[in-house]
């Protein structure tokens, strides 16, 4: 089974100081040691999960010409549809063997950010698709807020340190379809080895083999969650902020064994991003003689822009 540790968010929000502290210590150790954790006790109901998978399967089953009209030029794939093979990992030329959709932030009380973020794209053929996507987005964002509160305590910050930066943050919900593989892929995998850009990623759909994590010894280990769990990992922004105290772990989605090539895989990561003004300068309390400052000062917005160019999603 998976070598990734498990935690229960119900401990953190229980109102019991001992259980809360236990959660902080467990998730802190997991993120320092392997950068991944399997989390139960989140805010997604079974019904919402079932509804979401039903809707995204309907969308990816639409005719290609219908899906293509939802691919919006000029916004770096930040909203709507991105067709098969468009995205590649940093440093690779081969496109990943996937197509995906992006839901973005539903801005509240902030006209400036409403202008800054592209609008969400409505799929007219599927009346429930956008409603279910929005509800999932909100529940994953709520889950992520409490995970970041626990990590703030672990980093000796105020518990609410991240709250102001993630409210109306530039977070993305990405339903992914890895279609059946019809012929031997040439140098391409479903998702090549990469680190995530953001603060943390919450992943639905890591229930079967496929997702692998690189541990400290450089070995690839399977990361498999129970059906009721989310897989959560540290992104590069949180690594920078914590001066690598919390590790952004390289991971990949490998192609299945040949007998399973004829099957689709679906997964739904939620990339928790802050607002673009958030400073990612290394925290003073993560810098000492043994751990000198590793990164230049940069804002979240500048860092995101750099990485989107490296991924081939934005032009310089």
Residue 12's domain is classified under what CATH number?
2.60.120.330
User: Which of 3-12, 76-85, 111-120, 156-165 is least confident?
Assistant: 76-85
**72 located within any domain:** yes
Q: Over 60: is that where the pLDDT of 92 sits?
A: no
Residue predicted with more confidence, 249 or 311: 249
Average pLDDT over residues 46-61: 95
Of 68, 125, 87, 49, give the one whose Cα is nearest residue 313: 87
* Section 43-58 average pLDDT: 95
Residue 29 belongs to a domain: yes
Residue 1, pLDDT score:
44
Between 3-7, 37-41, 74-78, 114-118, the lowest mean confidence (pLDDT) is in: 74-78
Average pLDDT value over all residues in the chain:
88
| 316 is a domain residue | no
Cα-to-chain-centroid distance, residue 191: 13
| Count of the separate structural domains present in the chain | 1
Tens digit of each residue's pLDDT (9 = 90 or more) over 217-236: 888 888 888 889 999 999 99
Whether 80 shows a pLDDT value over 70: the answer reads yes
Instruction: State the DSSP string of 205-267.
Output: ---STTEEEE-TTS-EEE----TT-EEEEE-HHHHHHTTTSS----EEEPPPPGGGTTS-EEE
pLDDT of 95 over the 80 cut: no
Which pLDDT value is given to residue 207? 63
Q: What is the pLDDT, as a whole number, of residue 194?
A: 84
pTM metric for this prediction: 0.90
Is 315 contained in some domain? no
What is each CA distance from 63 to 69, 70, 103, 125, in whole angstroms?
A: 11, 12, 20, 11
Cα distances from 60 to residues 1, 21, 114, 190, 229, in angstroms, run: 30, 42, 28, 16, 24
Give domain status of residue 220, yes or no: yes
Instruction: Please say if the pLDDT value at position 127 is more than 90.
Output: yes
Residue 1 covered by a domain:
no
Residue 85 has pLDDT above 70, yes or no: no
- 12, 24 in Cβ contact below 8 A? yes
Domain residues for the domain of 253 are: 6-310
Is 224 inside a domain boundary? yes
**CA 199 from chain center: how many Å?**
9
- Residue-wise pLDDT for 167-205, tens only, equals 999 999 999 998 887 666 666 555 678 888 999 999 987
Element (H, E) at 164: helix 163-166
Q: Which residue has the higher pLDDT, 310 or 21?
A: 21
Nearest to 177 by CA among 92, 260, 269, 259: 269
Q: Quick: pLDDT tens for 239-298.
A: 999 999 998 888 887 776 777 777 788 889 999 999 999 999 999 999 999 999 999 999
pLDDT value, residue 13: 97
Which pLDDT band, with edges at 50, 70 and 90, does 90 fall under? low
Would you say residue 70 lies in a domain?
Answer: yes
At residue 306, the pLDDT reads 86
Q: What percent of the chain has pLDDT over 90?
A: 65
């Amino acid at each position: 089974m998976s070598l990734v540790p498990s935690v229960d968010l119900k401990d953190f929000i229980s109102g019991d100081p001992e259980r809360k502290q236990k959660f902080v210590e467990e998730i802190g150790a997991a993120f320092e040691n392997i950068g991944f954790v399997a989390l139960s006790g989140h805010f997604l109901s079974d019904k919402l999960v079932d509804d979401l998978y039903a809707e995204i399967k309907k969308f990816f089953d639409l005719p290609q010409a219908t899906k293509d009209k939802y691919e919006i030029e000029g916004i770096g794939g930040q909203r709507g549809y991105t067709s098969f093979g468009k995205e590649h990992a940093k440093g690779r030329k081969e496109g990943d063997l996937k197509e995906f959709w992006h839901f973005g932030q539903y801005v509240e009380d902030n006209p400036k950010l409403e202008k800054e973020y592209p609008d969400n794209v409505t799929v007219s053929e599927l009346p429930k698709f956008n409603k279910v996507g929005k509800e999932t987005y909100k529940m994953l964002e709520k889950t992520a807020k409490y995970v970041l509160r626990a990590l703030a305590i672990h980093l000796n910050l105020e518990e609410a340190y991240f709250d102001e930066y993630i409210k109306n943050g530039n977070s993305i919900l990405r339903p992914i379809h890895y279609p059946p593989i019809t012929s031997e892929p040439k140098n391409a995998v479903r998702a090549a080895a990469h680190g995530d850009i953001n603060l943390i990623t919450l992943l639905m759909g890591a229930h079967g083999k496929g997702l692998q994590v690189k541990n400290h010894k450089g070995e690839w280990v399977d990361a498999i969650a129970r059906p009721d769990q989310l897989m959560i990992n540290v992104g590069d922004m949180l690594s920078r902020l914590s001066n690598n105290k919390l590790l952004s772990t390289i991971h990949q989605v490998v192609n299945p064994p040949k007998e399973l090539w004829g099957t689709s895989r679906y997964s739904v990561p939620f990339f928790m991003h802050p607002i673009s003004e958030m400073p990612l300068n290394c925290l003073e309390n993560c810098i000492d003689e043994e751990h000198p400052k590793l990164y230049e000062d940069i804002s979240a917005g500048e860092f995101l822009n750099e990485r989107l160019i490296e991924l081939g999603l934005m032009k310089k």
